[in-house]
C-alpha cells in the first residue's frame, strides 16, 4: 500500500515532467529558468506603468497591486489581445490603495536589452505592448 503511494507520486511527477504543463500543479514540470535564451538577440524585462488622475506616472509594482510581474508576463497574451483587461490591474491598485488618486491609464512596457554572444551591447529599446485608458468622463 505505502509503496504504491510512493510509486503513484513518482509516476505523476514523471508524467507531468514529460507531458504536463504548469496547469497540473502541484505536479508540474520543474521548469525554473528552463528556457534557452539566445546568445544573440533581445532579453526582455516587462513592467506595468500607470498614469493617475493627477497626471503622475508610476510603475504598478507587485507591492502596490498584489499582482506580480511574473503573473503579468504569464497573462501577457491575454492583455495584448484584450487591453480592456488592464482595467483590473488598476482595480487591484485601487483596492490596495483606496485613499490614492484613481488611475486613468495603464500600459504594459517591455524594455529589451540587446545581447551579442551573451554580452550586453548597451543597446536598449522600450516597447509599449498594450494600453488601456479609462473612457467614462463623468
Taking the complex as a whole, the smallest distance from the CB of residue 23 to other proteins amounts, in Å, to 4
Residue whose entry in the numeric block shows the C-alpha cell 467614462: 136
Q: How many helices (H) and strands (E) in the chain?
A: 5, 4
Q: Which is nearer to other proteins, 55 or 118 (CB)?
A: 118
Beta strands in the chain (DSSP E): 41-52, 57-59, 103-116, 119-133
Q: Which is nearer to other proteins, 124 or 128 (CB)?
A: 124
Q: Which is nearer to other proteins, 55 or 63 (CB)?
A: 63
Do the Cβ atoms of 58 and 50 come closer than 8 Å?
A: yes
Taking the complex as a whole, the smallest distance from the CB of residue 51 to other proteins amounts, in Å, to 20
Three-state SS for 86? helix
Taking the complex as a whole, the smallest distance from the CB of residue 10 to other proteins amounts, in Å, to 6
3-state secondary structure 21-48: CHHHCCCCCCCCCCCCCCCCEEEEEEEE
Dihedral (C-alpha) 50, 56, 62, 63: value to the nearest 10 degrees? Answer: -160
Do the Cβ atoms of 108 and 86 come closer than 8 Å?
A: yes
Contact positions vs other proteins (CB under 8 A): 2-3, 5-6, 9-10, 13-14, 17-18, 22-39, 41, 43, 45, 62-63, 65-68, 70-75, 85, 88-89, 91-92, 95-96, 113, 115, 117-120
Taking the complex as a whole, the smallest distance from the CB of residue 137 to other proteins amounts, in Å, to 23
Q: Which is nearer to other proteins, 42 or 131 (CB)?
A: 42
Taking the complex as a whole, the smallest distance from the CB of residue 98 to other proteins amounts, in Å, to 10
Q: Which is nearer to other proteins, 55 or 117 (CB)?
A: 117
Amino acid at each position: 500500500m505505502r509503496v504504491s503511494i510512493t510509486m503513484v507520486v513518482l509516476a505523476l511527477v514523471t508524467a507531468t515532467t514529460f507531458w504536463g504543463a504548469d496547469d497540473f500543479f502541484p505536479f508540474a514540470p520543474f521548469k525554473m529558468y528552463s528556457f534557452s535564451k539566445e546568445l544573440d538577440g533581445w532579453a526582455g524585462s516587462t513592467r506595468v506603468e500607470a498614469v493617475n488622475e493627477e497626471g503622475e506616472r508610476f510603475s504598478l509594482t507587485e507591492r502596490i497591486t498584489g499582482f506580480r510581474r511574473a503573473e503579468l508576463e504569464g497573462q501577457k497574451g491575454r492583455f495584448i489581445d484584450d487591453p480592456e483587461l488592464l482595467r483590473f490591474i488598476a482595480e487591484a491598485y485601487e483596492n490596495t490603495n483606496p485613499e490614492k488618486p484613481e488611475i486613468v491609464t495603464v500600459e504594459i512596457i517591455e524594455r529589451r536589452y540587446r545581447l551579442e554572444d551573451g554580452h550586453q551591447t548597451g543597446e536598449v529599446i522600450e516597447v509599449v505592448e498594450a494600453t488601456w485608458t479609462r473612457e467614462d468622463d463623468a
